[in-house]
Amino acid sequence: MSYDRSTQNTNLAKELMTAALDIKQAHILSEWVHDRPLISCRFEPQGRYVFAGAEDNTVQRWALADGVKTSLVGHDSWVKAIAFSKDGETTITGGSEGRLVWWPTAAEKPAEIRRIDAHQGWIRSLSVSPDGALLASVGNDLSVRLWNVADGSLAREWPAHDRYIYCVQFHPSGEFLITGDLVGVVKQWNVATGELVRTFDAKPLHTYEGGQQVDFGGVRTIAISPDGKYLTAGGLHKATNPLGAVHEPLQLLWEWDNQTLVRSHIAEGITGGVLWRSLYLSDQTLMGACGGSTGGFLLFWKPDDDKAFHRFAYPVLVRDMDLHPDGIRVATAHYDRNVRIVSLSAKA
Amino acid sequence: MRPFYACGTAEHTLARRQFLGSMAAAGLGTMIGGLKTFANPAAAQEMARQQKRIVVFNMHGGLSQLESWDPKPGTATGGPCRSIPTSVPGIHISELLPKVAQQMHHLTLVRGVNTAEDDHGKGAYMMLTGRRQTPAADYPRIGAVAAKALAPADDALPGHISITPGGGGGSGNDSAYLEPKYASVMLGNGNPPMHTVRPESVAEPADAARNEFRRRVNERFLTRRRTAMTDAYASSYEQALQLMERREVFDVTKEPAKDVERYGKYDFGRHCLLARRLLEKGVTFVQVSHSNYDTHNENFDFHLEQLAEFDLGFSNFVADIADRGMLDSTLIVVLSEFGRTPNINLYYGRDHWSKAWSVVMAGCRTPRGFAFGATNADGTEVVDGQVDHGNLFHTYLESVGVDSTGSFSIDGRDLPIADPAVGAVKQLLV
């Protein structure tokens, strides 16, 4: 167990609990470092910890109050997907070996509660239903599986896509599940029956580069606006050299009710940019975390403009992002082994 | 270099030194291309019956050894992919190759390759010629050497075929100082050679008359002005006619539908099936390229995609060659221009790495179910059984019975078939 006291600032963090959202005043609060590059991160619902998957197959837990780091060791491969029970007391991690592991979120020395061989191949994304009862998992075996969070039993499964499924997200109503795949197919499923409701065309997020003979891109993130009006799917476009990371971020925005594509949110000039995750802020701003050859960025869009109205720049590339339950703090996982906590408000 | 013959005739493309290996020890046969003297009919008949073939799978762009033949799971360089057991106890390969793992008893892993060249073009040249590229000389690719050394002289089919992933076709400029007829015939995306169908506007009698007239004019011209170049022109016309007559050889749709299904309905699967067909029809050398592995970005996702295709097509190919009794006469090689860095970069990519990577061989004199050479724990350097492109080139040739220490006699000069500064890897020859 170790932590970096030099970068923690607990007093400031406490003050942020009452801070007002002010995106253009965003600034870094904390930087906590691990031994290996980080690939994923999530805040737990009570807001006490941030968890991050690392390239050493571990999940690291940092306490926001004091930066104390704790390792969760139970996977044989990288952990790209992290989710929580609704009360935040249970953490569920999904590994690239196809395993789901249940952990006690706040235990001093977290020990596995349960492990399930859930998928053939990588688990790429998890989502917990709004009522906290179900966990959805997707991965390379092209199936959606729903698990009972309480006991880990399989509730339902169905073959969902023809190509690798990159992400999954429950609709805020709990009635639907949204999935997106490598070739830009977004599907809306009825959770109760597993039936396909409709499909959204996100092909601008996919590139087949004939010279390199590769499929690239895909739906890396899905979000639904708090008012339920919009569905977004993010990733990349302009992939003129997929193997060499020449592409730019792209976020598609549809009206939920009629599937009209209303925006193609872009961020020009971010070479090598891909949106790893997008989330809505309380004021309906869409926030995307983007890596790029010139660093990492938080990008901010409004639904009435294709272009981002603000960028927050990190010193290094971003690989994942999450929003704290307070709606102000943002965690990002970085290649330089740091998890960074940013405040979307003015400095105290 | 133009292939002028030493004596000014078409009769001699002979090596001064002994050319073939074990078969040549008994003499050379009339059926063996370019090697018409030192004949021993019995050996020649045996060699014709057991005609050796080579198939090279070129993993274009630089296959990651860590996601294929030399995984390092659980290390700082291992990435997210795990290793899996194979049909040979004790040998593990990447989980991205589950079907190939079941064919491991036919394969040899060469895990100690160090070519010290991280440039795509130079690395590819080295792996296909066995030499480092210099401005002073060009060397024939392995396919041209194989065609000259192994293909029957009167073969109606080209001895050197390259199946490329994209479209296009034509002939490669890869025979160097060997005659142009040993240059690769390219089958773009596995399609038959270009211009091998008689135009509908030319009736068959008219076509035959036209060809007869061409032959007569050629013969008259050659009585006084015969050179390698004129021979090459004449040869190319005759080869084209023969190709037109045997065009069905290149038609992979003639293969059973169940095999098309089994190999996978990807281009690469179809190309593997075409390679099997060509080898069965007697083509001496086939190269199948699979693109693209130059994964500076998102290495793991791209290898997941690409190797899924490779796993299906290649595993079925190896199994079929073995099942059909062709493995003793067919050398299979899987190579790239280099491997990829153990270090994982910020884009989840791996960059070029030639200091410690892997090649796979199977068939002919190659040991079965064997792993030769080793890298250190995180795969950054070779710690046992180090070999380079020159060693491997010698080994390929020795494996199919060619004495790799022999020479071609070109324009009065003896040109070693393989780099004389190095030799074959004895541990890879049984």
In this predicted structure, what is the pLDDT of residue B223? 82
Average pLDDT score over chain B: 86
**B79 neighbourhood in chain A, CB within 8 Å:** 55, 78
* A164/B304 Cβ within 8 A: yes
Strands A246-255 and A261-266: antiparallel
Give the minimum alpha-carbon distance from B65 to chain A in angstroms, rounded to a whole number. Answer: 17
* A242/B297 Cβ within 8 A: yes
Q: Which of the pair, A160 or B41, is modelled with greater confidence?
A: A160
pLDDT in tens, A159-195: 999 999 999 999 999 999 999 999 999 999 999 999 9
Q: Does residue B15 register a pLDDT over 60?
A: no
**A97 neighbourhood in chain B, CB within 8 Å:** 82
Closest chain B residue to A76, measured at CA: B74
What DSSP designation does B252 have?
G
- CA A319/CA A339 separation, integer angstroms: 10
What is the distance of C-alpha A2 from the center of its chain?
26
**A239 neighbourhood in chain B, CB within 8 Å:** none
Give the minimum alpha-carbon distance from B297 to chain A in angstroms, rounded to a whole number. Answer: 5
**B74 neighbourhood in chain A, CB within 8 Å:** 57, 76
Using a CB–CB cutoff of 8 Å, tell me whether A314 touches chain B. no
pLDDT in tens, B307-353: 999 999 999 999 999 999 999 999 999 999 999 999 999 999 999 99
**B188 neighbourhood in chain A, CB within 8 Å:** none
Q: What's the half-sphere exposure (Cβ side, CA atoms, 13 Å) at A204?
A: 17
Q: Which amino acid is at B181?
A: K
Q: Do residues B335 and B58 touch, judged by C-beta distance below 8 A?
A: yes
Using a CB–CB cutoff of 8 Å, tell me whether B213 touches chain A. no
Q: What is the mean pLDDT of residues B56-64?
A: 98
Using a CB–CB cutoff of 8 Å, tell me whether A238 touches chain B. no
- pLDDT band per the 50, 70, 90 thresholds, residue B237: confident
Q: Does residue B52 register a pLDDT over 80?
A: yes
Place of tokens 């239903």: A129
In this predicted structure, what is the pLDDT of residue B28? 33
Give the minimum alpha-carbon distance from A64 to chain B in angstroms, rounded to a whole number. Answer: 26
Give the minimum alpha-carbon distance from A218 to chain B in angstroms, rounded to a whole number. Answer: 11
Place of tokens 């399989």: A154
From the list A219, A236, A277, the residue with the least C-alpha distance to A40 is A277
In this predicted structure, what is the pLDDT of residue B8? 32
Average pLDDT score over chain A: 93
What are the E-state strand segments in B21-158? 53-60, 83-85, 92-94, 107-113
H or E, element range at B42:
helix B41-49
* A214/B82 Cβ within 8 A: no
Closest chain B residue to A210, measured at CA: B166
In this predicted structure, what is the pLDDT of residue B16? 30
Q: Please, which residues have CB within 8 angstroms of residue B89's CB and are 6 or more apart in sequence? A: none
- CA B66/CA B344 separation, integer angstroms: 11
What DSSP designation does B421 have?
T
Give the minimum alpha-carbon distance from A335 to chain B in angstroms, rounded to a whole number. Answer: 6
Q: Does residue B266 register a pLDDT over 70?
A: yes
For the question of an ipTM over 0.90, the answer is yes
Using a CB–CB cutoff of 8 Å, tell me whether B292 touches chain A. yes
Report, in this order, helix, strand and coil percent for chain B, each rounded to 5: 35, 20, 45
* A317/B79 Cβ within 8 A: no
**A75 neighbourhood in chain B, CB within 8 Å:** none
In this predicted structure, what is the pLDDT of residue B314? 98
pLDDT in tens, B411-421: 888 999 999 99
Give the minimum alpha-carbon distance from A213 to chain B in angstroms, rounded to a whole number. Answer: 6
Using a CB–CB cutoff of 8 Å, tell me whether A104 touches chain B. no
Restricting to A residues 121-160, those with a Cβ less than 8 Å away from any Cβ of B are 122, 140
Q: How many CB atoms lie within 10 A of CB B118?
A: 17
Q: Do residues B75 and B57 touch, judged by C-beta distance below 8 A?
A: no
**Partner-chain residue, chosen from A36, A57, A214, that has the shortest CB–CB distance to B292:** A214
The C-alpha angle B247, B253, B255, rounded to 5 degrees, equals 100
Q: Does residue A3 register a pLDDT over 50?
A: no
Q: What's the half-sphere exposure (Cβ side, CA atoms, 13 Å) at B111?
A: 26
Report CA Rg, chain B.
22
Place of tokens 């075996």: A141
- CA B350/CA B338 separation, integer angstroms: 12
What DSSP designation does A195 have?
-
Q: Which amino acid is at B336?
A: S
Instruction: Kindly state the tokens that stand for A236.
Output: 């990349």
The burial class, CB within 10 Å (0-12 / 13-18 / 19+), for A283 is: exposed
**A296 neighbourhood in chain B, CB within 8 Å:** none
Residue of B347, B351, B352 to mutate, testing the A interface (most A Cβ within 10 Å of its Cβ):
B347
* Integer CA distances (angstroms), A250 to A226, A232, A277, in order: 21, 10, 11
Using a CB–CB cutoff of 8 Å, tell me whether B83 touches chain A. no
**Partner-chain residue, chosen from B74, B302, B304, that has the shortest CB–CB distance to A243:** B302
Q: Do residues B413 and B387 touch, judged by C-beta distance below 8 A?
A: no
**Partner-chain residue, chosen from B74, B296, B304, that has the shortest CB–CB distance to A57:** B74
Q: Do residues B38 and B27 touch, judged by C-beta distance below 8 A?
A: yes
* Integer CA distances (angstroms), B393 to A290, B67, B163, B174, B397, in order: 46, 24, 21, 16, 7
Q: Which of the pair, A198 or B234, is modelled with greater confidence?
A: A198
Restricting to B residues 312-371, those with a Cβ less than 8 Å away from any Cβ of A are 344, 346-347, 349
Strands B185-188 and B169-171: antiparallel
pTM for the predicted model, two decimal places: 0.89
What DSSP designation does B8 have?
S
**Partner-chain residue, chosen from B82, B165, B347, that has the shortest CB–CB distance to A213:** B165
* B292/A245 Cβ within 8 A: no
- CA B27/CA A14 separation, integer angstroms: 89
* B82/A164 Cβ within 8 A: no
* B76/A36 Cβ within 8 A: yes
Using a CB–CB cutoff of 8 Å, tell me whether B231 touches chain A. no
Restricting to B residues 49-68, those with a Cβ less than 8 Å away from any Cβ of A are 61
Rounded to a whole number of angstroms, the distance between the first and last alpha carbons of chain B is 36
Give the minimum alpha-carbon distance from A212 to chain B in angstroms, rounded to a whole number. Answer: 5
Q: Do residues A176 and A256 touch, judged by C-beta distance below 8 A?
A: no
* Integer CA distances (angstroms), A72 to A13, A35, A51, B27, B315, in order: 24, 14, 9, 68, 38
Backbone angle region of B106, left / alpha / beta, with phi > 0 → left and psi within -120 to 50 → alpha: alpha
In this predicted structure, what is the pLDDT of residue B273? 98
- CA A331/CA B353 separation, integer angstroms: 34
* B344/A243 Cβ within 8 A: no
Q: Determine the angle formed by the axes of helices B389-399 and B120-129, rounding to 10 degrees.
A: 30
Q: Do residues B234 and B190 touch, judged by C-beta distance below 8 A?
A: no
In this predicted structure, what is the pLDDT of residue A6? 38
N residues, chain B: 430
Q: Do residues A91 and A47 touch, judged by C-beta distance below 8 A?
A: no
**Partner-chain residue, chosen from B79, B297, B305, that has the shortest CB–CB distance to A215:** B305
Using a CB–CB cutoff of 8 Å, tell me whether B229 touches chain A. no
- pLDDT band per the 50, 70, 90 thresholds, residue A16: low
* A245/B349 Cβ within 8 A: yes
Q: Which of the pair, B37 or B386, is modelled with greater confidence?
A: B386
In this predicted structure, what is the pLDDT of residue A18? 60
The burial class, CB within 10 Å (0-12 / 13-18 / 19+), for B362 is: buried
N residues, chain A: 348
pLDDT in tens, A259-300: 999 999 999 889 889 999 999 999 999 999 998 787 899 999
Using a CB–CB cutoff of 8 Å, tell me whether A217 touches chain B. no
Dihedral sign of CA atoms B120, B122, B124, B127 in order:
negative
Q: Which long-range contacts (CB under 8 A, 24 or more apart) does B379-382 make?
A: B379/B65, B379/B66, B379/B70, B379/B72, B379/B75, B379/B77, B379/B342, B380/B77, B380/B342, B380/B355, B380/B356, B381/B114, B381/B355, B381/B356, B382/B111, B382/B112, B382/B113, B382/B114, B382/B355, B382/B356
Size of interface A-B (CB pairs under 8 A): 70
Q: Does residue A196 register a pLDDT over 50?
A: yes
Residue of A59, A162, A213 to mutate, testing the B interface (most B Cβ within 10 Å of its Cβ):
A213
Residue of B81, B297, B299, B304 to mutate, testing the A interface (most A Cβ within 10 Å of its Cβ):
B297
